[in-house]
Amino acid sequence: MREPIVFIGDSITELWGFHRAGTFEAYNLIPRGGSGQTARWITMRFRRDLEETRARGVHLLCGVNDIGRNEGFFVPADEIARTLAGMLDEARAMGVKAWIGSIMPAASIPWNPEVRDAPAMIAAVNAWLRDHAHEHGATFIDYHAVLATETGGLRPEYGTDGLHLSPAGYAAIEPLMLAALGRIPPPTPGGVGRGAAKVRRRWIGLAVAAVALLGAAAVLVLGAR
């Protein structure tokens, strides 16, 4: 059996484990999401989650609640990045392989209309992660590129409230996630230009179908126990 990978994060991770339980079961992924939690709050349980699950890999995804000012005050993008980097450093010190997902796109924060620069803040944190995650021993996974509109919002077909993902949204990013984690093979290069784009779309479609079938099979197996 593959070694477990724990998914640590906020409500995005919590709902991922709920809506796509079959995927998590099939690929030995452990959801540890906490609704409403900021990155700073997550640092307080990060080591405990790693120790309790005995996972040798961690997928970290959080930061949007810091942008949403869930603790009642503004948190700059560079401070969010430093908090995330601190958790990656802790994972490396523990000998745990790390992946970090981009903050999901959002045109605004549904619960806090006072935040008027959400797309810019999200872009700033994601840019830092893209450029510097490897310096902290982690692999960056760019979910934002799959889900975002041209203006940085969440594509309507992938969301429920402009920020949280629908089951279709999670299904859309799962091939990217599973390939990054080594759970499925990465796409084979198929050329350049339009040819490469066509191959990529075809691969993603096949991968989504495969994930859906495996998830459904896992649910049936669980139900039969």
Report the pLDDT value the prediction gives residue 62, as an integer from 0 to 100: 98
109 Cβ partners below 8 Å, 6+ apart?
Answer: 64, 67, 68, 69, 115, 118, 163
Residue 12: inside a domain: yes
User: Helix, strand or coil for residue 209?
Assistant: helix
Residue 63: inside a domain: yes
> What CATH number does residue 26 fall under?
3.40.50.1110
Residue 43: inside a domain: yes
Reading the chain (225 residues) residue by residue, the pLDDT tens digits are: 689 999 999 999 999 999 999 999 999 999 999 999 999 999 999 999 999 999 999 999 999 999 999 999 999 999 999 999 999 999 999 999 999 999 999 999 999 999 999 999 999 999 999 999 999 999 999 999 999 999 999 999 999 999 999 999 999 999 999 999 999 998 766 543 444 444 444 544 544 455 455 554 444 444 554
For residue 212, which amino acid is it?
A
User: Helix, strand or coil for residue 81?
Assistant: helix
Report the pLDDT value the prediction gives residue 205, as an integer from 0 to 100: 53
Residue 121: inside a domain: yes
Residue 147: inside a domain: yes
Report the pLDDT value the prediction gives residue 200, as an integer from 0 to 100: 47
Q: How crowded is residue 155: how many other Cβ atoms within 10 Å of its Cβ?
A: 14
Long-range contacts of 45-52 (CB under 8 A, 24+ apart): 45/8, 46/8, 46/87, 46/90, 46/91, 47/90, 47/94, 49/6, 49/8, 50/6, 50/91, 50/94, 50/96
Report the pLDDT value the prediction gives residue 123, as an integer from 0 to 100: 98
State the residue range of the domain holding 59: 5-181
- What interhelical angle do 77-93 and 118-132 show, nearest 10? 30
The number of folded domains in the chain is: 1
Please give the sequence-ordered ranges of beta strands (E in DSSP) within the chain, or none if there are none. 5-9, 29-33, 57-61, 97-101, 138-141
How many CA atoms lie less than 13 Å away from 137 in the CB half-sphere? 15
Residue 205: inside a domain: no
CB-CB contact of 35 with 10 (8 Å): yes
Residue 211: inside a domain: no
Residue 30: inside a domain: yes
